[in-house]
Structure 1
Amino acid sequence: MLTLTGITLKSGRKTWLKDVSFTAQARRITGIVGPRGSGKTELARVIMGLVEPDSGTVTLEGHELGYGDRQNFGYLPAERGGYPSMKVLEQIVYFARLHGMTMGAAERNAVTLLARLDLSDRAYAPLSHLSGTEVARVDIAAILAADPDVVVLDEPFDGLDAASAEKVFDLLRDHADSGVPVVFTSDSWDLTQAAADDIIVLSHGAIAQQGTLDELRADHRSYRVDFADESAATAAEAHLAASPGVTSVRRTGTRVLVEAADVDSAGAAVSGLPGLRGFTTVEPSLAELFKEKV
Structure 2
Amino acid sequence: MRILLTFLILGIFISQGIAQTCCSGGVPLSNNLGLPNDGKGVLVVGLNYDYNNLNTLNAGTVKLDDSSRQRVTNSVLLNVGYSFTDKFAIETLLTWVNQSRTITQFGNQNFTETSGVGDAVILFKYSIPAFLGNRIVLNLGVGAKLPLGDSDILSDQGIQLTADLQPGSGAWDGLVWASASKSLNFRPSTTVSGSITYRFTGVNNAYLNNEATYEFGDEIQANIGFSDQLLVLNTIINPGIVFKYRKAFGDRIDNQEIPNTGGQWVFLRPEITVQLSSSLAINSRLELPIYSDVEGTQLTPTLRFSTGISFKLPNKKKVLIN
**TM-score in terms of structure 1 length:** 0.24
Q: TM-score, normalised by structure 2?
A: 0.22
Structure number with bigger Rg: 1
Name the structure with the higher helix share: 1
